[in-house]
Amino acid sequence: MPTLHQVAESWGRLELKLETEDTRYWITTEGVSRKTSGTPINYVVNYVTVEKLTEDGNWDLKAVYSPEAWKLSQAFDYCQILYQDLNRLNAGLEKQFAWELVHERDAVQAEIERVNKIIYELSDKVRSRA
Protein backbone atom coordinates (compact mmCIF):
# COMPACT_ATOMS: atom_id res chain seq x y z
CA MET A 1 0.00 0.00 0.00
CA PRO A 2 1.19 3.53 -0.59
CA THR A 3 2.50 5.51 2.36
CA LEU A 4 0.05 8.25 3.42
CA HIS A 5 2.35 9.75 6.04
CA GLN A 6 5.52 8.79 7.85
CA VAL A 7 7.09 9.50 11.20
CA ALA A 8 10.84 9.14 11.65
CA GLU A 9 12.31 9.21 15.14
CA SER A 10 15.52 7.99 16.72
CA TRP A 11 13.87 4.59 17.29
CA GLY A 12 12.97 4.12 13.62
CA ARG A 13 10.29 4.93 11.05
CA LEU A 14 6.55 4.28 11.02
CA GLU A 15 4.52 4.59 7.82
CA LEU A 16 0.80 5.25 7.78
CA LYS A 17 -0.69 2.75 5.33
CA LEU A 18 -4.43 3.00 5.95
CA GLU A 19 -6.69 5.53 7.64
CA THR A 20 -10.41 5.06 8.14
CA GLU A 21 -12.87 7.39 9.84
CA ASP A 22 -11.81 6.22 13.30
CA THR A 23 -8.70 4.05 12.91
CA ARG A 24 -5.15 4.46 11.62
CA TYR A 25 -2.82 1.59 10.71
CA TRP A 26 0.94 2.13 10.77
CA ILE A 27 3.69 -0.31 9.81
CA THR A 28 7.24 -0.07 11.10
CA THR A 29 9.64 0.04 8.16
CA GLU A 30 12.82 0.94 10.08
CA GLY A 31 13.76 0.01 13.61
CA VAL A 32 14.94 -3.07 15.48
CA SER A 33 14.61 -6.53 13.95
CA ARG A 34 13.06 -8.12 17.05
CA LYS A 35 11.64 -7.18 20.44
CA THR A 36 14.29 -5.94 22.84
CA SER A 37 14.09 -4.45 26.30
CA GLY A 38 14.12 -0.68 26.25
CA THR A 39 12.83 -0.32 22.69
CA PRO A 40 9.15 0.57 22.21
CA ILE A 41 7.39 -2.44 20.71
CA ASN A 42 5.92 -0.40 17.86
CA TYR A 43 9.48 0.16 16.57
CA VAL A 44 10.04 -3.49 15.67
CA VAL A 45 10.25 -3.83 11.88
CA ASN A 46 7.04 -5.15 10.25
CA TYR A 47 4.93 -4.66 13.40
CA VAL A 48 1.54 -3.00 12.90
CA THR A 49 0.48 -0.15 15.20
CA VAL A 50 -3.24 0.60 15.48
CA GLU A 51 -4.54 3.97 16.67
CA LYS A 52 -8.17 4.85 17.41
CA LEU A 53 -9.76 8.28 17.30
CA THR A 54 -10.93 9.41 20.73
CA GLU A 55 -14.06 11.42 21.49
CA ASP A 56 -11.92 14.54 21.96
CA GLY A 57 -10.44 14.19 18.45
CA ASN A 58 -7.01 12.83 19.39
CA TRP A 59 -5.42 9.60 18.17
CA ASP A 60 -4.77 7.01 20.88
CA LEU A 61 -2.49 3.97 20.58
CA LYS A 62 -4.70 0.89 20.94
CA ALA A 63 -2.56 -2.07 19.95
CA VAL A 64 0.70 -3.19 18.40
CA TYR A 65 0.75 -6.49 16.52
CA SER A 66 3.58 -8.72 15.36
CA PRO A 67 3.15 -9.89 11.75
CA GLU A 68 1.84 -13.25 13.01
CA ALA A 69 -0.52 -11.64 15.52
CA TRP A 70 -1.83 -9.30 12.79
CA LYS A 71 -2.55 -12.28 10.54
CA LEU A 72 -4.23 -14.02 13.47
CA SER A 73 -6.41 -10.96 14.11
CA GLN A 74 -7.43 -10.87 10.44
CA ALA A 75 -8.20 -14.61 10.52
CA PHE A 76 -10.50 -14.10 13.53
CA ASP A 77 -12.28 -11.27 11.70
CA TYR A 78 -12.66 -13.46 8.61
CA CYS A 79 -14.05 -16.28 10.77
CA GLN A 80 -16.68 -13.92 12.17
CA ILE A 81 -17.76 -13.04 8.62
CA LEU A 82 -17.93 -16.74 7.72
CA TYR A 83 -20.08 -17.52 10.77
CA GLN A 84 -22.44 -14.67 9.88
CA ASP A 85 -22.72 -16.12 6.39
CA LEU A 86 -23.31 -19.60 7.82
CA ASN A 87 -26.09 -18.27 10.06
CA ARG A 88 -27.69 -16.51 7.07
CA LEU A 89 -27.59 -19.72 5.02
CA ASN A 90 -29.01 -21.82 7.86
CA ALA A 91 -31.83 -19.31 8.36
CA GLY A 92 -32.57 -19.47 4.64
CA LEU A 93 -32.70 -23.24 4.76
CA GLU A 94 -35.11 -23.13 7.70
CA LYS A 95 -37.45 -20.91 5.69
CA GLN A 96 -37.21 -22.88 2.47
CA PHE A 97 -35.02 -25.82 1.52
CA ALA A 98 -32.87 -25.40 -1.59
CA TRP A 99 -29.98 -27.53 -2.74
CA GLU A 100 -28.12 -24.39 -3.82
CA LEU A 101 -28.17 -23.17 -0.21
CA VAL A 102 -27.00 -26.57 1.03
CA HIS A 103 -24.00 -26.43 -1.32
CA GLU A 104 -23.23 -22.86 -0.26
CA ARG A 105 -23.48 -23.86 3.41
CA ASP A 106 -21.15 -26.83 2.85
CA ALA A 107 -18.60 -24.57 1.16
CA VAL A 108 -18.75 -22.07 4.04
CA GLN A 109 -18.36 -24.86 6.60
CA ALA A 110 -15.33 -26.19 4.71
CA GLU A 111 -13.83 -22.69 4.64
CA ILE A 112 -14.42 -22.33 8.40
CA GLU A 113 -12.56 -25.61 8.99
CA ARG A 114 -9.67 -24.42 6.80
CA VAL A 115 -9.46 -21.06 8.58
CA ASN A 116 -9.62 -22.73 12.00
CA LYS A 117 -6.54 -24.80 11.08
CA ILE A 118 -4.74 -21.61 10.04
CA ILE A 119 -5.78 -19.92 13.31
CA TYR A 120 -4.39 -22.85 15.28
CA GLU A 121 -1.04 -22.65 13.43
CA LEU A 122 -0.82 -18.87 13.80
CA SER A 123 -1.71 -19.11 17.50
CA ASP A 124 1.25 -21.41 18.01
CA LYS A 125 3.55 -18.94 16.25
CA VAL A 126 2.26 -16.01 18.29
CA ARG A 127 2.65 -17.96 21.56
CA SER A 128 6.20 -18.96 20.64
CA ARG A 129 7.20 -15.29 20.05
CA ALA A 130 5.76 -14.08 23.36
Ordered domains of the chain (ranges, CATH): 5-65 (no CATH), 68-129 (1.20.58)
Provide the pLDDT confidence category of residue 130 given band limits of 50, 70 and 90.
low
Task: Give the model confidence (pLDDT) of 66-76 as tens digits.
Answer: 999 999 999 99
Amino acid at 93: L
| pLDDT tens digit sequence for 9-58 | 999 999 999 999 999 999 999 999 998 888 899 999 999 999 999 999 99
Question: Above pLDDT 90, what percent of the chain?
Answer: 90
Confidence (pTM): 0.75
- Is residue 31 left, alpha or beta, with left meaning phi > 0 and alpha meaning psi from -120 to 50? left
